[in-house]
Structure 1
Amino acid sequence: MTASAAPALPAAVIFDMDGLLFDSEILSRDAFLSASSEIGRAASEADFLVMVGRPWTINRVYLQDFFGEALDIEAFGAVWRRHYVAGKATLALKAGVVEFLDHLDALKIPRAICTSSVHEDVAFNLALHGLAHRFDAVIASGDYTKGKPAPDPFLRAAEVLGVDPSECLALEDSHNGVRAAAAAGMRTVMVPDLLPATDEIRALCRLVAADLHEVRTHLTP
């Protein structure tokens, strides 16, 4: 997203949450590996990365195939969740979040969170860092029919904000999130977290940025 690539300010900004606003993908990864170890099954970071940016409805099918039909995946999900919740109090904010939100305030640009996580997690994360009042809407699991990489979550976010999807700037850290935002017709920017940008993903993005500080420098009147 350069000055020539995006001559007009977006009408709204749509944020992913995990790995983009909060350092929660690392927390989820560590919880997944701990849960796998607890049930006596071997798993690696690569096995986790396949699931990044996708909803539980898709990931539970993947995990059932990965671990085998004999394992109760809902029970495993509960163990994973327990390990995740145990570490949530240490959840860190990603670089540049507050400064970016301040910049949007100055520009009077509305914004929403669009995530595969549940509303409970969004509320906890925002409250932990005092950010609940900084977003105009939250679109989370249960608010759309199909999760990322389908465009449904982003289309729903645009609908709630009353903005055409093509006039929205979408910020994502995952491949599936980028695919979803691009499919929704949004100006898409990737800020990589655990997954680097591939050639496919770069082709879908206006910009691949190091952090939100860099994205902010491109968002000028």
Structure 2
Amino acid sequence: MSSPSALLLDMDGVLAEVSQSYRGAIIATCAHFLKSGKVTSAIVSQKKAQGGCNNDWILSRDLIIEHKDSGAPEPTLEEVTGVFEDLYQGTGDVAGLCDLETLIPAKGLLQELRRRCPSRMAIVTGRPRSDCMKFLRLHGIEDLFDCCVVMEDGPAKPDAFPVKRACELLKIDPSTAVMVGDTPDDIRSAISAGTRGIGVATPDDYAKAVIGKSKFEDGALVKACLECGAEKVIEPGLAHLLDIFPPTPAFIRTPPPLSLYVKLLGPLNKLDAKITSSTLLTLLTTLTTPPVPPSSILPFEIVPGRKFCFFNFVDEASMNSVLESYESDSSLWKIEDQQLIIERRTGGNGPNPKKARGRRGRRGKGRGTD
């Protein structure tokens, strides 16, 4: 089987550890309406394993109706959603359960996977867009993904739409992509769309296997994913994906990137928190005519305290489009009223050649040469 070129990732249970946030919000919402602890984590996991539970608001309402006392009124979806969101987002001085979420895979691993995916990476999630983007930005991984297909975009998994839409946005054939998720809905959506489906165990299920309370392959979600047609189910953290996306051989690596040097005129001490790679990407797409697609710009990071960075482009046409738009009216290119200077440079993020020659010259003069 040939290596895939694109990676599609579910968010909850794959990127985000949500046992205390989304899962916790489901349980707490049910307790609010049932006035009891009838709905447990095990019940929620069982429902997820059955599939068809991609929307946690609807799942919460269905669980309340299923476990309510005979004759008790049924809450509306709007009422359930309101309680759920208050618990998850927080209200007033009360922190939301969303604050308990953590990033499961290492950021460095995600960056390496990005380097190994010639057709890039996408998020395919049932989260609302605001929740999805909040998590990505909080953990500094927003720029690793070229697109995010979310709840508002159309039918939810297990429908094929979310996976197909991600492939459309990446401009790839679905057969060249891999979809990774932790529920049967993820796998069914992948297979229906024509992509390869790989399951991933949740941290909770994997922990139980590690301490001997159960076997890895006996986890409810693991078994359900395999029964739905998953090629395999991997451990949490996604490290096993490195075996599926091998390094690009040196002889076909992308040539050194074309670079534009970007410098901010003015002090950075008050602006560091506001200057991010997404800020600069937004500036590019807003001010460049014609707009430059995000896929034409290689991943980059802003280092706090530095007054410059590089835009690295995959093609000269995109780079020239940015440079020409900047030169036509450079006064528009500002962040928080601080002017940007954009120049063409070569050599990417390496040292300044003039400074390097100066250091070698001084060292050579002192030591002599052979």
Structure 1 pair 178/26, CA: closer, same or farther in 2 (3 Å)?
farther
Q: Which residues in structure 2 correspond to 1:84-99 (within 5 Å)?
A: 84-85=88-89, 86-96=96-106, 98-99=108-109
Deviation at 1:25, TM superposition (A): 4.5
Match of 1:116, SS?
coil
Q: Does 1:197 align with 2:222?
A: yes
Identical-pair percentage = 22
Structure 1 pair 17/149, CA: closer, same or farther in 2 (3 Å)?
same
Asked which structure has the greater RCO (Cα within 8 Å, sep 6+), the reply is 1
Deviation at 1:89, TM superposition (A): 2.2
Match of 1:171, SS?
strand
Amino acid at match of 2:3: L
After TM superposition, the score normalised by the length of structure 2 is: 0.53
Greater CA drift, 197-206 or 22-31: 197-206
Counterpart residue number, 1:35: 29
Match of 1:196, SS?
helix
Match of 1:142, SS?
helix
Greater CA drift, 197-206 or 58-67: 58-67
Counterpart residue number, 1:48: 44
Deviation at 1:44, TM superposition (A): 1.9
Indicate the structure with greater strand content.
2
After TM superposition, the score normalised by the length of structure 1 is: 0.85
Counterpart residue number, 1:72: 76
Q: Which residues in structure 2 correspond to 1:1-221 (within 5 Å)?
A: 6=1, 8-39=2-33, 40-41=35-36, 42-49=38-45, 50-51=47-48, 54-55=54-55, 59=59, 62-63=62-63, 65-66=65-66, 67=68, 70-85=74-89, 86-96=96-106, 98-144=108-154, 146-193=155-202, 195-198=220-223, 201-202=226-227, 204-211=229-236, 212-220=238-246
Amino acid at match of 2:222: A
Q: Is the 8 A contact 2:107 2:141 kept in 1?
A: no
Amino acid at match of 2:137: A
Separation in 2, partners of 1:192, 1:176:
14
Deviation at 1:100, TM superposition (A): 3.2
Structure 1 pair 115/183, CA: closer, same or farther in 2 (3 Å)?
same
- CA-based RMSD: 2.4
Q: Is the 8 A contact 2:61 2:80 kept in 1?
A: no
Q: Give the number of aligned pairs.
A: 214
Q: Is the 8 A contact 2:184 2:228 kept in 1?
A: no
Q: In the TM superposition, what whole-angstrom CA distance separates every residue of 1:37-58 from its partner, at most 9, and x where no partner exists?
A: 2331431224323157513585
Deviation at 1:19, TM superposition (A): 0.8
Q: Is the 8 A contact 1:110 1:135 kept in 2?
A: yes
In structure 2, runs of 5+ residues without a counterpart are 90-95, 206-219, 248-370
Separation in 1, partners of 2:56, 2:221:
22
Separation in 1, partners of 2:5, 2:73:
47
